[in-house]
C-alpha cells in the first residue's frame, strides 16, 4: 500500500487498521433474485456494517462454488444478468450513495470474452476497486496482474492451505489483500475448518505486509469473531446468499419486501465482529 493510494479498498483497510478493527466482507450474487433487489440489499449490508462488498458475477460453471451460490447463479442467469450488468449495478449503488469499496468476483471466462482492454476500461468507470478471479492461478495471471497494477485495481489473490511453497510467489506483487481459503473445498457453510488453519493464516501473514482476510465456509457470528482475532478481514458468502434465498418469498411481494430486507440486514449485523 503506497501512501498516495486513492483505491477505496486500500483506504478502508488503512482506516480499520488505525481503529483496530477487522473488515466484514459480505458476498452477494448480483441479480439474485433480480438487479433492483440487489441494489436494495447492498444498502442493507452497508447499514448493517459491511466494510467492503464482493459482487459475484453469476456464471454457468462456477467450479469453486458450492450448491448455495450455484443456485443463486442459476436464478440470476435466468434474469439474463451478465458481467456488464454486474458492473452497472456497482455504479448504480455508488450513485445511490453507497461508500463501500466494490470487489468484482468473477470467473475468468466472462472477463476473457469481454476483452481485457475493454474490461479494464470499464472497471474504473464503474467504481470497482478490486477483482477476485477464482480460476486464475498465478501461472495464468501474469497479464491480469500487470494490467491491474497499471489501472490501480487490486487483483486479490487466493491462497489455500495446500499452497505451501507457492504462498511466497502468490503474495509477491499482490495488492489489496490476500484471501486465505479457510479449508479445502468449495464455498459453503461448514462447522469445522482445516485443522491447520491458524498456522496457515499465520504463515501467510509472515509472507506479506498486505491485509490478510479469510473466507470459504464462515457463516456465524462466532466464526467471524474467531477469525477476526487473527485476520484483517472476514468474508461471509454462502450464509448471506442463503439468507437471501430464504427471504425471496418475502422480497417478491410488496407488502413483505421491507420485512425481507430487514431480515437480511439483521443477519449481517449480528455477524459484525
Partner 1 sequence: MTQVPDQHGRFGSFGGRFVPETLMNALIELEEAYRKHSADPAFQEEIDYLLKQYSGRETPLYYAERLSKHLGEAKIYLKREDLNHTGAHKINNAIAQGILAKKMGKTKVIAETGAGQHGVATATVAALLGMECKVFMGEEDTRRQALNVFRMKLLGAEVIPVTSGTRTLKDAGNEALRYWVSHVDDTFYVLGSAVGPHPYPMMVRNFQRVIGDETRRQILEAEGRLPDLLVAAIGGGSNAIGMFYPFVEDENVGLIGVEAAGKGVDTPYHAATMSKGTHGVFQGSMSYLLQDEYGQVQEAHSISAGLDYPGVGPEHSYLKDIKRAQYVPITDAEALDALKLLCVTEGIIPALESAHAIAQVVKIAPTLTKDDIVVICLSGRGDKDVESIMAYTEGAEKA
Q: Name the residues annotated as catalytic.
A: 54, 65
Binder among 67, 173, 196, 249 for partner 1 (CB under 8 A): 67
- Work out whether 172 is an interface residue with partner 1 (CB under 8 A): no
CB of 18 to partner 1, least distance (A): 31
Instruction: Give Cβ neighbours of residue 41 (< 8 Å, ≥ 6 apart).
Output: 28, 244, 261, 264
The verdict on 158 binding partner 1 (CB under 8 A) reads yes
Regarding 185 and contact with partner 1 (CB under 8 A), the answer is yes
207 touching partner 1, by CB under 8 A: no
Nine-digit cell string for 55:
459482487
Residue that the C-alpha cell 495446500 belongs to: 162
Query: 10 Å Cβ neighbour count for 260?
Result: 23
Q: Does 56 bind partner 1 (CB under 8 A)?
A: no
Beta-sheet pairing, 158-159 with 154-155: unpaired
DSSP designation for 69: H
* CB-based contact 33:248 (threshold 8 Å): yes
**97, 80, 101: which is closest to 30 by C-alpha?**
80
Is residue 144 close enough to count as binding partner 1 by CB under 8 A? no
160 binds partner 1 (CB under 8 A): yes
Is residue 77 a contact residue for partner 1 (CB under 8 A)? yes
User: Where do we find the cell 495471471?
Assistant: 141
Q: Output the nine-digit C-alpha cell for 111.
A: 472477463
Among 22, 38, 82, 154, binds partner 1 (CB under 8 A): 82
Please count the residues of this chain forming the interface with partner 1, following the rule CB under 8 A: 42
Q: How far is the CB of 17 from partner 1 (least distance, A)?
A: 25
Q: Please tell me whether residue 96 binds partner 1 under the rule CB under 8 A.
A: no
Q: How far apart are the first and last CA of the chain?
A: 24
Q: Interface residues with partner 1 (CB under 8 A)?
A: 59-64, 66-67, 70, 74, 77, 82-84, 107-114, 134-137, 139-140, 157-160, 162-164, 166, 170, 181, 183-186
Amino acid at each position: 500500500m503506497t501512501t498516495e493510494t486513492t483505491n477505496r479498498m486500500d483506504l478502508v483497510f488503512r482506516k480499520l487498521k488505525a481503529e483496530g478493527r477487522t473488515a466484514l466482507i459480505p458476498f452477494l450474487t448480483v441479480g439474485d433474485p433480480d438487479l433492483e433487489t440487489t441494489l436494495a440489499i447492498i444498502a442493507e449490508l452497508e447499514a448493517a456494517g459491511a466494510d467492503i462488498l464482493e459482487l459475484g458475477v453469476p456464471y454457468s460453471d462456477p467450479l469453486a462454488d458450492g450448491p448455495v451460490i450455484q443456485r443463486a447463479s442459476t436464478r440470476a442467469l435466468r434474469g439474463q444478468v451478465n458481467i456488464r450488468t454486474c458492473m452497472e449495478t456497482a455504479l448504480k449503488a455508488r450513485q445511490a450513495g453507497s461508500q463501500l469499496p466494490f470487489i468484482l468476483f468473477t470467473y475468468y471466462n466472462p472477463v476473457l470474452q469481454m476483452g481485457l482492454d475493454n474490461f479494464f476500461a470499464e472497471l474504473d468507470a464503474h467504481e470497482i476497486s478490486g477483482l477476485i478471479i477464482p480460476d486464475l492461478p498465478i501461472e495464468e495471471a501474469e497479464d491480469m496482474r500487470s494490467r491491474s497494477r497499471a489501472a490501480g485495481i487490486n487483483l486479490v489473490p487466493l491462497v489455500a492451505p495446500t499452497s505451501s511453497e507457492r504462498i511466497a510467489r502468490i503474495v509477491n506483487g499482490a495488492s489489496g489483500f490476500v484471501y486465505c481459503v479457510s479449508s479445502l473445498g468449495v464455498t459453503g457453510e461448514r462447522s469445522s475448518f482445516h485443522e491447520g488453519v491458524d498456522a496457515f493464516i499465520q504463515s501467510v501473514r509472515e509472507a506479506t505486509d498486505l491485509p490478510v482476510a479469510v473466507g470459504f465456509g464462515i457463516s456465524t457470528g462466532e466464526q467471524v469473531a474467531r477469525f477476526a482475532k487473527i485476520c484483517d478481514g472476514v468474508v461471509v458468502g454462502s450464509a448471506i446468499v442463503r439468507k437471501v434465498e430464504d427471504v425471496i418469498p418475502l422480497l417478491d411481494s410488496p407488502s413483505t419486501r421491507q420485512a425481507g430486507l430487514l431480515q437480511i440486514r439483521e443477519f449481517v449485523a449480528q455477524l459484525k465482529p
